[in-house]
Amino acid sequence: MVAALVGLYTGPLFRAALHLWVAASNEPQLGSRVTELEARVGRETHRIAVELLGADESRPGVRETIQGLLDMARGLGLANLLTDDRARRERVVAQWTALVEGALKSSPSGV
């Protein structure tokens, strides 16, 4: 699941979104619309991650673990823009998978 979530941020759709963000940073009217859309997409992505991972966000630290995972995935997507960062990304994803599994392990509905 961690690799699948990272895949959201390393594909062509994320690259297109980045171009839109850059354009919106210089256009106030576009910026407000993109900011609103980004917030909605961010909430939905978080919800999907929670569902896919079977995470119990009522447990301390679980929400932050999921958000950290998504933030890390976005960073990997940015690193992948100029060079093929696949080898490093695979190692980072493996480590984050272990971290997420550890954070969710004691949750009855967790991974």
Number of structural domains found in the chain:
1
Kindly report, residue by residue over 13-61, the tens digit of the pLDDT. 899 999 999 999 999 889 989 999 999 999 999 999 999 999 999 999 9
Per-residue pLDDT for 93 more than 90? yes
What pLDDT is attached to residue 111?
47
- Asked whether residue 109 is assigned to any structural domain, the reply reads no
Domain extent for 92: 2-104
- Asked whether residue 110 is assigned to any structural domain, the reply reads no
User: How many angstroms from the chain centroid is the CA of residue 32?
Assistant: 22
- Asked whether residue 16 is assigned to any structural domain, the reply reads yes
Say whether pTM exceeds 0.85: no
Confidence of residue 106 (pLDDT cuts 50, 70, 90): low
Q: How many CB atoms lie within 10 A of CB 59?
A: 16
What pLDDT is attached to residue 108?
52
Give the closest residue to 14 by CA, choosing from 63, 76, 65, 64.
76
